[in-house]
Amino acid sequence: MKQVNISILLGLALPFVAVAQEKQYPERAPMTPEMSEYWQPQPPVVTPGKTSEQPVPAPSDAIILFDGKDLSQWENNQGQAAGWTVANGAFTVKKGTGDIRTKQKFNDFQLHIEWRIPEGIEGKSQGRGNSGVFLQGIYEIQVLDCYENETYVNGQTGSVYKQTPPLVNAMRKPGEWNSYDIIYTAPTFKKEGSYRTPPRVTVLQNGVLLQNNTTILGTTEYIGFPQVREHGAGPISLQDHGDPVSFRNIWIREL
């Protein structure tokens, strides 16, 4: 008799188990870009010291990524020749040709890159001199004209995009060269793909500290939250955001 009762109970329980296994949860609610932006407090403005208009010489152990002559060290995202314009020792975003990236891939490094917003540029907020430097092709350090041009602070010049604002605004006026010196430590991963140690970055603009050993939380998404995505060595990528931002004197030291 007890066996019969147990069988009946098991029979009654099975439909509930099936229902539990088939239960569907709602998808995450759609987000807009504005949901991950904030405007205050605006970082204080710091006027950087004067520097020479000549490029900063690379150290003896640096890998030269752009020497002022050609884009032979770079390619587009399809692995084809980079289509940006090279002239007068610099190269400039050619709108519509897409992002470019180094052919060589890197892990930990020290990167030097100089960039310039064209004089007379128009627009405001994110619509003025927008580009970006992507570390390992994934994590963006924002390039933007923030000279007398306010925007959401976690999208300002030198921010870890949509994550960490810069400590200060050290922008030079359009037409003048800016420099980034970036020290980057690549992440390590656990077997299941989460960070064992997250990526970290220090950024100086024009010799002024913007990011001080900052933890990068994950991918730098335009819409939504950072995602942790397992990866290995990756390139340095530069963004075609449609603005004619110029770059020169790019070198890197592997650490």
Amino acid identity, position 165: P
pLDDT for the residue 6: 52
What domains can be seen in the chain, in order of their start residue? 2-254 (2.60.120.560)
- How long is the chain? 255
- List the structure tokens of 77: 């995202």
Amino acid identity, position 144: L
pLDDT for the residue 11: 54
pLDDT for the residue 13: 53
pLDDT digit string (tens) for 112-130?
999 999 998 988 998 888 9
Q: pTM to 2 decimals?
A: 0.87
123: left (phi over 0), alpha (psi -120 to 50) or beta: left
- Whether 152 has a pLDDT exceeding 60, the answer reads yes
pLDDT digit string (tens) for 73-110?
999 999 999 999 999 999 999 999 999 999 999 999 99
Beta strands (DSSP E) in 84-151 are: 85-87, 90-92, 100-102, 109-116, 131-135, 139-143
pLDDT digit string (tens) for 31-40?
898 888 889 9
Say if residues 103 and 235 touch (Cβ distance below 8 Å): yes
